C-alpha cells in the first residue's frame, strides 16, 4: 500500500505540470488537498473491495450491538428487558412483525391464525414447520417450530427450575438455549430484548432425535430469521 501511495502521489505531482511554462502545482495547499482527496478515494476503494480498518469499525459500532452479527439498528428491538411499567404495550410480536416471506426464506412455513396480532396473557405464539425438501407445498413432518415472545425474563425461567443449556457471552445481547418440556427432547433458542424475550422452539416429531439436535435446529432457524430481518441472506 505504501508503494502504491508513493507512485500515485508522484503521478499527481507530474500531472500538475502544464508544459514548460506552467507551474507544477499552484500552491502547497493545493497539493495537500489533492493528497487528501486521494487518501479518501483510496480508503473508499479499500472498503468497496472488502478491506476493513478503523473507519469501518467505527461505522459498525455506530449501528449498535449485534445479534447473530446483525446490528440492532436493523432489528425491531434492542438488548435489555421489557419495561412493563413504562412501556406496557411495546411487546414484540414475531408472528406479525416478521413477514411470512422471511420465514419462508428461512425454511419455515408458518400457520397463519386469526387474531395473531393480539397477545394472549402477554404471550405471542405461532407455529411453523420446516418446508418439505422436495419444494412441494406440503410441510415436513419431522417436527415443528414454535415462534414465541413473552414478558418473562431469563431469571424467571431459572427461578422456575428450567435448565439453561447455554448462555452466550455476546453482550449486551444474550442469546441462550434452554431445555423445553421434560421428556420431549425439544429445545428453546431465545434472546432477551427491550420488547420481550423472543424464542424459537423446535420440537421433534414423536419424541425422535435428541435435545442436541433440537437445539441445533432451533438456533439455526433463529439465526437465519434474524439475518433475514437485517437484510442479510444466510
Q: For the chain, what is the mean pLDDT?
A: 74
Least Cα distance to 60 among 78, 48, 75, 72 occurs for 72
Around Cβ 225, how many Cβ atoms within 10 Å? 25
Please report the pLDDT score of residue 107 as a whole number.
92
Instruction: Please report, for residues 6, 148, 170, 178, the alpha-carbon distance to residue 167 in angstroms, rounded to integers and kept in the order given.
Output: 50, 19, 9, 9
Please report the pLDDT score of residue 97 as a whole number.
93
Average pLDDT over residues 8-20: 36
Range ranked top by mean pLDDT from 9-18, 39-48, 135-144, 177-186: 177-186
Please report the pLDDT score of residue 234 as a whole number.
61
Between CA 223 and CA 69 the distance in angstroms is 9
Please report the pLDDT score of residue 118 as a whole number.
76
Of the two residues 168 and 116, the one the predictor is more confident about is 168
Query: At residue 9, does pLDDT exceed 70?
Result: no
Instruction: Please report, for residues 63, 140, 178, 198, the alpha-carbon distance to residue 55 in angstroms, rounded to integers and kept in the order given.
Output: 13, 46, 38, 33
Query: At residue 153, does pLDDT exceed 70?
Result: yes
Query: At residue 191, does pLDDT exceed 90?
Result: yes
Range ranked top by mean pLDDT from 72-76, 112-116, 122-126, 160-164: 72-76
Q: Residue 8 class from Cβ within 10 Å (0-12 exposed, 13-18 middle, 19+ buried)?
A: middle
Average pLDDT over residues 108-118: 79
Report residue 92's pLDDT band, with 50, 70 and 90 as the boundaries: very high
Of the two residues 134 and 132, the one the predictor is more confident about is 132
Average pLDDT over residues 205-231: 91
Give residues with Cβ within 8 angstroms of 185, minimum separation 6: 203, 204, 207, 208, 209, 210, 211, 214
DSSP-derived secondary structure for 160-172: TTPPEEEE---SS
Please report the pLDDT score of residue 33 as a whole number.
53
Please report the pLDDT score of residue 8 as a whole number.
33
Q: Residue 226 class from Cβ within 10 Å (0-12 exposed, 13-18 middle, 19+ buried)?
A: buried
Average pLDDT over residues 87-107: 89
Do 135 and 157 form a contact (C-beta atoms < 8 A)? no
Of the two residues 118 and 32, the one the predictor is more confident about is 118
pTM over 0.85: no
Do 180 and 188 form a contact (C-beta atoms < 8 A)? yes
Between CA 112 and CA 110 the distance in angstroms is 6
Please report the pLDDT score of residue 27 as a whole number.
41
Query: At residue 52, does pLDDT exceed 50?
Result: no
Would strands 143-150 and 196-204 be described as parallel, antiparallel, or unpaired?
antiparallel
Between CA 173 and CA 191 the distance in angstroms is 7
Amino acid at each position: 500500500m505504501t508503494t502504491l501511495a508513493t507512485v500515485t502521489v508522484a503521478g499527481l505531482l507530474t500531472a500538475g505540470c502544464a508544459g514548460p511554462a506552467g507551474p507544477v502545482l499552484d500552491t502547497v495547499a493545493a497539493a495537500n488537498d489533492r493528497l487528501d482527496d486521494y487518501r479518501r478515494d483510496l480508503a473508499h476503494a479499500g472498503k468497496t473491495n472488502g478491506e476493513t480498518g478503523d473507519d469501518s469499525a467505527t461505522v459498525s459500532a455506530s449501528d449498535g450491538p449485534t445479534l447473530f452479527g446483525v446490528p440492532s439498528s436493523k432489528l425491531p428491538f434492542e438488548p435489555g428487558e421489557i419495561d412493563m411499567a413504562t412501556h406496557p404495550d411495546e411487546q414484540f410480536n414475531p408472528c406479525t412483525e416478521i413477514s411470512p416471506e422471511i420465514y419462508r426464506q428461512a425454511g419455515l412455513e408458518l400457520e397463519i391464525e386469526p387474531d395473531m396480532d393480539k397477545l394472549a396473557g402477554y404471550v405471542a405464539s405461532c407455529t411453523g414447520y420446516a418446508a418439505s425438501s422436495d419444494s412441494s407445498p406440503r410441510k415436513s413432518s419431522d417436527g415443528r417450530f414454535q415462534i414465541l415472545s413473552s414478558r418473562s425474563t431469563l431469571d424467571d425461567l431459572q427461578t422456575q427450575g428450567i435448565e439453561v443449556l447455554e448462555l452466550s457471552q455476546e453482550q449486551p445481547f444474550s442469546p441462550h438455549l434452554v431445555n423445553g418440556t421434560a421428556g420431549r427432547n425439544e429445545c428453546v433458542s431465545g434472546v432477551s430484548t427491550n420488547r420481550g424475550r423472543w424464542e424459537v422452539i423446535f420440537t421433534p416429531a414423536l419424541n425422535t432425535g435428541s435435545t442436541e439436535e433440537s437445539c441445533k435446529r432451533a438456533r439455526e432457524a433463529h439465526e437465519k430469521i434474524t439475518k433475514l430481518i437485517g437484510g442479510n441472506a444466510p
